[in-house]
Amino acid sequence: MNIDRPQSAEERAAKHAALGDPSRLRIVDLLTLGDLSPSEISVALGLPSNLITHHLNGLESVGMVSRSRSEADKRRNYVHLVDSALDGLTPGRVERASRVVFVCTANSARSQLAAALWSTHSSIPATSAGTHPADRIDAGAVAVAGRRAIDLPDESPRALESVWDKSDLVVTVCDNAHEEIGLTGHLHWSIPDPVRLGTDDAFDTAFEELERRITALAPRLAAIPPHRKETT
């Protein structure tokens, strides 16, 4: 997986500051739909040309817009929204890992479902483990996986210490596991245990929450190249 260099906090803050002015925000809104000349922007916003120039200079200074000469009328410029203009505006950092390990207490439901779901959203490998693994995957987890057309591994739950590596990103999906392992868990998702209720609704709710979280994390996780992988 190739991910461009994440923008620094300073670069992102500069964009937010530039968009703090309502007129600049409106200009960016317009440019998401197409290119405009400064005079066209002036008409659309009902602002004088000198003020439009001021706002465009501000947006250009933080790398959000660029300008090019018209091929028809060489006296005319067009303003474009640059490809990376909106990058970094949503809060969040990029993580890096060679593998994702999802952890719950028994490794019988949530962590198993999370690892199976992850494989449908990312090429980075994933597995699962438990702090106190059960004898088998819970029947409710098998059932919800079947309803959602997700393949669970045909293997018994495993202990975290038997699979964990320093280069792994550990995601706890269970409060008990998170509070037991502490900082070893890099990320924590507080998802109620569906096994306690044992109902289809409980498993469906857990599945949907896992899918929501995984969909958000997967684009922000970059693979560690093989030559940089740490070993225990």
Average pLDDT over residues 76-92: 87
Same-domain pairing of 138 and 171: yes
Do both 65 and 178 map to the same domain?
Answer: no
pLDDT the model gives residue 232: 41
**51 in the same domain as 27:** yes
Task: Name the residue with tokens 């817009």.
Answer: 65
Could you read off the pLDDT of 15-69 as tens digits, one per residue? 999 999 999 999 999 999 899 999 999 999 999 999 999 999 999 999 999 999 9
What distances in angstroms separate CA 76 from CA 37, 67, 141, 167, one per listed residue?
7, 10, 63, 54
pLDDT of residue 2 exceeding 50 = no
Q: pLDDT digit string (tens) for 137-169?
A: 999 999 999 999 999 988 899 999 999 988 899
Q: Is residue 4 part of a domain?
A: no
Same domain, 39 and 118: no
Is 18 a member of any domain? yes
| Helix (DSSP H) and strand (DSSP E) numbers for the chain | 9, 8
Contact of 171 with 114, CB cutoff 8 Å: yes
| Whether residue 102 sits in one domain with residue 71 | no
Residue 45 in any domain: the answer is yes
Q: What is the predicted pLDDT for the residue at 93?
A: 66
Q: Is residue 59 part of a domain?
A: yes
> Are residues 142 and 109 part of one domain?
yes
pLDDT of residue 108: 96
pLDDT at residue 88, rounded to an integer: 80
**Predicted TM-score (pTM) of this structure:** 0.68
**Residue 43 sits in a domain of what CATH number?**
1.10.10.10
Given a cut of 60, whether residue 136 has pLDDT beyond it is: yes
Do 26 and 111 fall into the same domain? no
Per the CB < 8 A criterion, the answer to whether 167 and 192 are in contact is no
In the prediction, which pLDDT does 216 show? 87
The total number of structural domains in the chain stands at: 2
- Containing structural domain, residue 176: 95-227
Sign of the Cα pseudo-torsion (38, 41, 46, 52, in order): negative
